[in-house]
Amino acid sequence: MSMDYRMAWRNIWRNPRRSILTICAIVFACALLVFMLSMQFGSYYSMIDFSVRIHTGYMQVQAKGYQKEHNIYQVVPQPERVARILSSNPEVRAFTYRANAFSLVSSRQRTYGALVIGIEPDRETQVSTLKSLVRKGEYLAPGDGTRALVGDLLARNLKVDVGDELVVLGQGRDGSVAATVLTVKGIFSSGQEDFDRSTVNIPLDTFQQVYSMDDAVHEVVVMGRNLRDMAGLKREIAASVEQLPDGRSLVVLDWMELMPGLIQGIKIDMMSGVIFYLFLVVVVAFSILNTFVMAILERTREFGVMMALGTSPGRLIRVLLMESMTMTAIGILCGIGAGVVVTWYFQIHGIALSGADDILKQFGIPDRIYPRLSVWSIAIGPAAVFIITFFTALFPALRVRRLRPIAALGHV
Amino acid sequence: MHRPRYRTLMIMALTAAAIAPCAYAQAPDPGKLVTAAFDYWRGTASISTVKMTVHRPDWERSMTLKAWTRGEKESIFFIIEPAKDQGNGTLLKDGQMWTFNPKVNQVIKLPPSMMSQEWMGSDYSNNDLAKSDTLLIDYTHEVTGTETDAGKKVYLVKSTPKPRAPVIWGMQKLKIREDYVILREEFYDEDMNLVKAMDASDIRPVDGKPFPMVWIMRKADKENEYTRLDYRDLKFLATLPDRLFTLSNLRNPER
């Protein structure tokens, strides 16, 4: 240990109370940042997880251009070839086919435009929460023919209830007129307004027949085992899909591409979070600045003596910075430790959202928030604290250069 | 989103008309020129058979329609080909639209929210078919130049919306031949970008007056996507009976 560092270390503990207070401020800031960031990431995770479970899945295989244009003839032909790829991948937890067509949906009294979705009742339950969202009547069963699940807002607009008839009029894949009469079997409510206001779900085989789809579908919806490993899984599936004879006309899109609004919302929320954290860090910086400035003012006489003995200002500055950086380092390490412990506890036990349980449960949103520790949530906050304390310490340390030994010696 | 709300040439075509007085104009008043051109098409009544082809880069589909029109606000048409869709009908009356499907045996009235949707997957929107002549009511016109086409003078007309008029197109441009045949109609958005354009061609005499037998509506940025209307059969009449343009005729057409 160099001489300078030994001096710095002793200086820290010459006034233990002051040093410990400073360290505590840093510990608190770091722990708070670790916890808050983990909370934020955790809530994004559950938001994303919840959203992908409602409808989109982790990713989808579609015809190129379908996501943007949604033309009924942009199909995945012979989807069982994609299914074979998916079945052979252990990271795929479940998948299902869907087909969509924007159509006129008419009850006896009213007519609205809505998205008619063909689903596989069995496999859909593995992929989405649709079944649990049925509030009235029943979920579809295989072989249900022309029975349908209708969003509650759409049902209200159409003034239909379970058992009532709906007429659907749209355009088939071959351009022909697609028309059929459906019977409402169930009414669902997801809490996502546009989904509840504008979708009708019918069995896929019925859809394919009405809309002249043959065996083609529009989406193969994939659920993985873990959102975090999605990127790798997407690459694998995309690589295999491309090997198919007509693979170039298909694309694999992940939830970020399927729901650009969600990721934008998260970005905006993240920005407001960042502003809050900046405030927090600035407040901490001022308190640290205060202790550093006080420390240096108190020690003017000491510096005067050292300079009179021949210590160069540069060396003094170095020692001072070593002091402050040592304290910061201790604070940050303890802060990360404390933050991780606290966050870890809640990551296991969750934080109950009081009061809102029933409403949340109804829509399948977990009633507890689980923070999520990650390298980022641990590193970002402390890194910011480190940088800002360095500069806060630099400012008073540089004042030493302005000291004149004689004047400093006379300082009380 | 554009909700095309203009006097549509398809309807004009379908609504083709008895002859307007052929006062071949010298220096035409732009408003009168446009009105005369529309009158030329609109006339009183017509019966026609039209083949509609929707073309996409990887896809094409045709169907044949039989249409009856009276004035500018009433028309009814049925699909006669392909056989699969035979009997599907559409009634347009006073800017509203009903559609009939024989399979479900029901008449459905299109809600206003659906009027901006494309009609039968074509490049025409429901509004294109159903909305009457806002071009005449909500726009002011000026002649910006002249061309010559097959020895005839062609006026270039620029139509801009009147202040606060409930229109969506920011501008329309017309090419009107001196005998009132409309050769081209262009639709611009509020930023004055071309959205789509319709071209008329194959002008032949029908009941003594020249009439374009082919109409092609094309999106501005997509050369390979268009909807083509071919008149197979066209007859102009003085009038047609009221009962043709009713819901009961839509349901049980007399053919």
Please report the residues numbered 52 through 91 in chain A whose beta carbons come closer than 8 angstroms to any beta carbon of chain B: 71, 73
The reply to whether residue B104 touches residue A179, judged by beta carbons under 8 angstroms, is yes
Query: For residue B112, is pLDDT > 90?
Result: no
Query: Are A168 and A116 within 8 A, CB to CB?
Result: yes
Q: Which of residues 109-128 of A touch B (CB under 8 A)?
A: 110-113
Instruction: Assign A90 to helix, strand or coil.
Output: coil
Nearest CA in chain B to A108: B108
Residue percentage of chain B with pLDDT more than 70: 86
DSSP for A164-202? -EEEEEEE-TTS-EEEEEEEEEEEE--S-HHHHHHEEEE
Q: What is the DSSP string of B139-188?
A: EEEEEEEEEEETTEEEEEEEEEEPTT---S-SEEEEEEETTS-EEEEEEE
Cis peptide before B82 (omega within 30 of 0): yes
The pLDDT value given to residue A357? 57
Q: Would an 8 Å CB–CB cutoff place A103 in contact with chain B? A: no
Residue A401 CB-density burial (10 A; 0-12 exposed, 13-18 middle, 19+ buried): exposed
Number of H helices, E strands in chain A: 17, 12
Q: Does B83 touch chain A (CB under 8 A)?
A: no
**Nearest Cα residue in chain B from A72:** B121
pLDDT, position A358: 60
pLDDT for res A62: 92
Query: Between chains, do B59 and A73 touch, taking CB under 8 Å as contact?
Result: yes
Of all helices (H) and strands (E), which one includes residue A282? helix A260-298
Mean pLDDT for chain B? 80
Tokens of A399: 């004042």
| Residue-level pLDDT at B16 | 41
Virtual CA dihedral for A291, A294, A298, A302, nearest 10 degrees? Answer: 70
User: What is the pLDDT, as a whole number, of residue A273?
Assistant: 85
Tens digit of pLDDT for each residue in A272-298? 888 888 888 888 788 778 877 887 788
Nearest chain A alpha carbon to B116:
A113
CB A240 within 8 A of CB A87: no
The stretches in chain A having pLDDT less than 70 are: 1, 353-367, 412
Is A169's CB within 8 Å of B101's CB? yes
pLDDT over 50 (residue B17):
no
Residue B165 CA, distance from chain mean position: 21
Contact A106 B113 (CB under 8 A): no
B109 to chain A, minimum CA–CA distance in Å? Answer: 7
For testing the chain B interface, which of A105, A111, A158, A181 should be mutated: the one with the most B CBs within 10 Å? A111
Inter-chain residue contact B120 with A104, CB threshold 8 Å: no
Give the whole-angstrom CA distance, residue A85 versus residue A20. 60
State the pLDDT at residue B23. 39
Report yes or no: B222 at the A interface, CB cutoff 8 Å.
no
Q: Are B46 and B14 spatial neighbours (Cβ–Cβ below 8 Å)?
A: yes
Helix A313-349 vs helix A3-14: crossing angle, to nearest 10: 60
Average pLDDT on B225-243 reads 87
Chain A residue with the nearest C-alpha to that of B109: A111
Chain B contact set for A69 (CB, 8 A): none
Give the A:B interface size as CB pairs under 8 Å: 56
Mark yes or no for CB contact B101/A111 under 8 Å.
no
Collect all residues of chain A within an 8 Å Cβ-Cβ radius of residue B58. Answer: 73
**What's the pLDDT score for residue A323?**
86
- Mean local confidence (pLDDT), B153-167: 86
Distance CA A198, CA A112 (A): 8
Q: Are A203 and A183 in contact (CB under 8 A)?
A: no
A144 neighbors A203 (Cβ within 8 angstroms): yes
pLDDT at B18 over 80: no
**Element at A346 (helix H, strand E):** helix A313-349
Test B113 with A112 for CB contact under 8 angstroms.
yes
Mean pLDDT in residue range B1-16: 44
Structure tokens at A379: 């590193």
Looking at residue A363, what is its pLDDT?
56
C-alpha distances in Å from residue A154, one per residue of A110, A190, A349, B165, B212? 10, 12, 39, 33, 44
Instruction: Please indicate if any CB of chain B lies within 8 Å of the CB of A362.
Output: no
Whether the complex's predicted ipTM surpasses the cut of 0.85: no
Residue B214, pLDDT score:
93
The whole-number average pLDDT for the span B77-85 is: 87
- For B225-240, letters b (16+ CB in 10 Å) and e give bbbbbbbeebebbeeb
Q: Do A175 and B84 touch (CB under 8 A)?
A: no
Is the Cα torsion angle B130, B132, B135, B139 positive or negative in sign?
A: negative
Q: Flag if B63 and A175 touch (Cβ within 8 Å).
A: yes
Closest listed residue to residue B131, CA positions, set B100, B97, B162 = B97
Stretch 2-21 of chain B: residues touching chain A, C-beta under 8 Å: none
Picking from A263, A174, A169, the residue whose alpha carbon sits closest to that of residue A213 is A174
Q: What is the pTM of this model?
A: 0.73
Contact call for residues A13 and A19 (beta carbons, < 8 A): yes
- Bridge-based pairing of strands A199-203 and A111-119 is parallel
Please name the residues in contact with A265: beta carbons below 8 A apart, sequence gap of 6 or more: none
Q: Which two tokens stand for residue A38?
A: 């983990």
pLDDT for B19 equals 37
Q: Which residues pair with A250 in a beta bridge?
A: A63
How many angstroms separate the CA of residue A112 from the nearest CA in chain B?
Answer: 6
Beta bridge partners of B148: B153
What is the gyration radius of the CA atoms in chain B, in angstroms? 18
Q: Is B228 helix (H, G, I), strand (E, B) or coil?
A: strand
The pLDDT, as a whole number, for residue B27 is 57
Nearest CA in chain A to B88: A177
Q: Where does the pLDDT of residue B131 fall: very low under 50, low under 70, confident under 90, or very high at 90 and above?
A: low
Note whether B195 contacts A: Cβ–Cβ < 8 A.
Answer: no
CB A170 within 8 A of CB A104: yes
Residue A355's pLDDT is 60
* Residue B125 · residue B138 · CB < 8 Å: no
Q: Taking 80 as the threshold, does the pLDDT of residue B105 lie above it?
A: yes
Closest in B56, B111, B120 to A112, CB measured: B111
CB contact under 8 A, A175 and B54: yes
The Cα angle at residue A240 between residues A236 and A244, in degrees rounded to 5: 160
CA B161 to chain CA mean position, Å: 19
Which residues of B are less than 8 Å from A175 in CB distance? 54, 59, 61, 63, 120-121
Mean pLDDT, all residues of chain A: 86
DSSP state of B74: E
